[in-house]
Amino acid sequence: MTDADVVRGMYDALAAADVGAFTALLDPDIEWTVPGRHTLSGTTVGIPALLAHLADVAQRTGGQVSVDVKDVLAGSAHTTSVVDVQMTVDGRTVQDHQVHLFELRDGRITAVREYHGDERAFDALFGVL
Protein backbone atom coordinates (compact mmCIF):
# COMPACT_ATOMS: atom_id res chain seq x y z
CA MET A 1 0.00 0.00 0.00
CA THR A 2 1.43 3.38 -1.00
CA ASP A 3 1.36 6.45 1.24
CA ALA A 4 -1.32 7.92 -1.03
CA ASP A 5 -3.41 4.76 -0.54
CA VAL A 6 -3.07 5.10 3.24
CA VAL A 7 -4.27 8.71 3.13
CA ARG A 8 -7.19 7.85 0.84
CA GLY A 9 -8.05 4.97 3.17
CA MET A 10 -8.06 7.36 6.12
CA TYR A 11 -10.58 9.65 4.42
CA ASP A 12 -12.71 6.63 3.43
CA ALA A 13 -12.69 5.35 7.02
CA LEU A 14 -13.68 8.79 8.34
CA ALA A 15 -16.54 9.06 5.84
CA ALA A 16 -17.80 5.61 6.84
CA ALA A 17 -17.34 6.36 10.57
CA ASP A 18 -15.23 3.19 10.74
CA VAL A 19 -13.16 3.90 13.85
CA GLY A 20 -11.28 0.59 13.63
CA ALA A 21 -10.16 1.15 10.05
CA PHE A 22 -9.33 4.79 10.83
CA THR A 23 -7.16 4.07 13.87
CA ALA A 24 -5.41 1.17 12.12
CA LEU A 25 -3.89 3.73 9.74
CA LEU A 26 -2.57 5.98 12.52
CA ASP A 27 0.64 5.88 14.49
CA PRO A 28 -0.19 5.65 18.23
CA ASP A 29 1.58 8.99 18.80
CA ILE A 30 0.00 10.83 15.86
CA GLU A 31 0.15 14.63 15.96
CA TRP A 32 -2.77 16.40 14.23
CA THR A 33 -2.60 20.19 13.95
CA VAL A 34 -5.54 22.46 13.18
CA PRO A 35 -4.70 26.12 12.51
CA GLY A 36 -6.50 29.15 13.82
CA ARG A 37 -7.44 30.81 17.08
CA HIS A 38 -10.73 28.99 17.65
CA THR A 39 -11.67 26.50 20.34
CA LEU A 40 -10.80 23.45 18.18
CA SER A 41 -7.43 24.74 16.95
CA GLY A 42 -4.08 23.43 18.16
CA THR A 43 -2.17 20.17 18.10
CA THR A 44 -3.73 16.94 19.32
CA VAL A 45 -1.30 14.14 20.24
CA GLY A 46 -2.16 10.43 20.36
CA ILE A 47 -5.07 8.38 19.06
CA PRO A 48 -7.32 8.75 22.15
CA ALA A 49 -6.94 12.54 22.11
CA LEU A 50 -7.58 12.67 18.35
CA LEU A 51 -10.72 10.56 18.68
CA ALA A 52 -11.94 12.88 21.45
CA HIS A 53 -11.21 15.89 19.22
CA LEU A 54 -13.14 14.37 16.31
CA ALA A 55 -16.04 13.51 18.64
CA ASP A 56 -16.07 17.17 19.74
CA VAL A 57 -16.21 18.28 16.09
CA ALA A 58 -19.08 15.84 15.43
CA GLN A 59 -20.97 17.03 18.52
CA ARG A 60 -20.57 20.72 17.71
CA THR A 61 -21.60 20.27 14.09
CA GLY A 62 -24.33 17.75 14.76
CA GLY A 63 -22.49 15.52 12.28
CA GLN A 64 -22.87 18.11 9.54
CA VAL A 65 -19.34 17.75 8.19
CA SER A 66 -18.31 16.73 4.70
CA VAL A 67 -14.86 16.29 3.22
CA ASP A 68 -14.60 16.00 -0.56
CA VAL A 69 -11.14 14.71 -1.49
CA LYS A 70 -10.07 16.33 -4.74
CA ASP A 71 -6.53 14.97 -5.00
CA VAL A 72 -3.87 13.06 -3.07
CA LEU A 73 -0.25 13.62 -4.03
CA ALA A 74 2.61 11.53 -2.66
CA GLY A 75 6.22 12.65 -2.61
CA SER A 76 9.34 11.14 -1.15
CA ALA A 77 8.89 12.71 2.30
CA HIS A 78 5.27 13.93 2.49
CA THR A 79 1.82 13.18 1.16
CA THR A 80 -0.59 16.02 0.51
CA SER A 81 -4.32 16.10 -0.03
CA VAL A 82 -6.45 18.83 -1.52
CA VAL A 83 -9.94 18.78 -0.03
CA ASP A 84 -13.14 20.79 0.08
CA VAL A 85 -14.56 20.85 3.61
CA GLN A 86 -18.03 21.93 4.66
CA MET A 87 -19.13 22.28 8.30
CA THR A 88 -22.33 23.63 9.80
CA VAL A 89 -22.78 24.89 13.37
CA ASP A 90 -26.08 26.36 14.57
CA GLY A 91 -27.27 26.97 11.00
CA ARG A 92 -24.03 28.71 9.94
CA THR A 93 -22.09 26.90 7.22
CA VAL A 94 -18.45 27.26 6.22
CA GLN A 95 -17.18 25.89 2.92
CA ASP A 96 -13.41 25.84 2.64
CA HIS A 97 -10.75 24.69 0.18
CA GLN A 98 -7.94 23.10 2.23
CA VAL A 99 -4.59 21.36 1.95
CA HIS A 100 -3.66 18.63 4.43
CA LEU A 101 0.02 17.73 4.79
CA PHE A 102 0.75 14.18 5.97
CA GLU A 103 3.85 12.48 7.32
CA LEU A 104 3.90 8.69 7.31
CA ARG A 105 6.22 6.02 8.68
CA ASP A 106 5.92 2.28 8.15
CA GLY A 107 2.51 2.62 6.50
CA ARG A 108 0.98 4.70 9.31
CA ILE A 109 0.16 8.38 9.53
CA THR A 110 2.42 10.07 12.10
CA ALA A 111 1.45 13.72 11.57
CA VAL A 112 -1.20 15.82 9.85
CA ARG A 113 -1.10 19.58 9.43
CA GLU A 114 -4.24 21.25 8.06
CA TYR A 115 -3.95 24.44 6.00
CA HIS A 116 -7.26 26.27 5.68
CA GLY A 117 -8.15 28.65 2.92
CA ASP A 118 -10.19 30.79 5.30
CA GLU A 119 -9.04 30.42 8.91
CA ARG A 120 -11.13 33.40 10.02
CA ALA A 121 -14.30 31.62 8.94
CA PHE A 122 -13.48 28.71 11.27
CA ASP A 123 -12.58 31.13 14.07
CA ALA A 124 -16.04 32.68 13.66
CA LEU A 125 -17.77 29.29 13.40
CA PHE A 126 -16.19 27.76 16.53
CA GLY A 127 -15.44 30.86 18.61
CA VAL A 128 -12.07 32.49 19.15
CA LEU A 129 -10.17 31.50 22.27
How much is the pLDDT for 64?
92
pLDDT at 27 over 90: yes
% of the chain surpassing 70 pLDDT: 99
**Distance between CA 122 and CA 85 in Å, rounded?**
11
So what's the pLDDT on residue 127?
87
Averaged pLDDT of the chain = 95
Residue 16 belongs to a domain with what CATH number?
Answer: 3.10.450.50
For the chain, how many structural domains are there in total?
1
Which pTM was predicted? 0.93
Q: Which residues pair with 26 in a beta bridge?
A: 109
Of 97, 96, 99, 84, the C-alpha closest to 124 is 96
pLDDT in tens, 69-105: 999 999 988 999 999 999 999 999 999 999 999 999 9
Whether 29 shows a pLDDT value over 90: the answer reads yes
Per the structure, the complete domain to which residue 96 belongs is given by 3-126
Taking the C-alpha atoms of residue 119 and residue 15, their distance in angstroms, rounded to an integer, is 23
- Mean pLDDT throughout 14-43? 96
Q: What percent of the chain stands above pLDDT 90?
A: 91
- Residue 45: what pLDDT? 98
Res. 129: pLDDT tops 70? no
Give the integer Cα–Cα distance in Å for 12 and 121: 26
Q: What region, left, alpha or beta, does residue 55 occupy, with left being phi > 0 and alpha being psi -120 to 50 degrees?
A: alpha
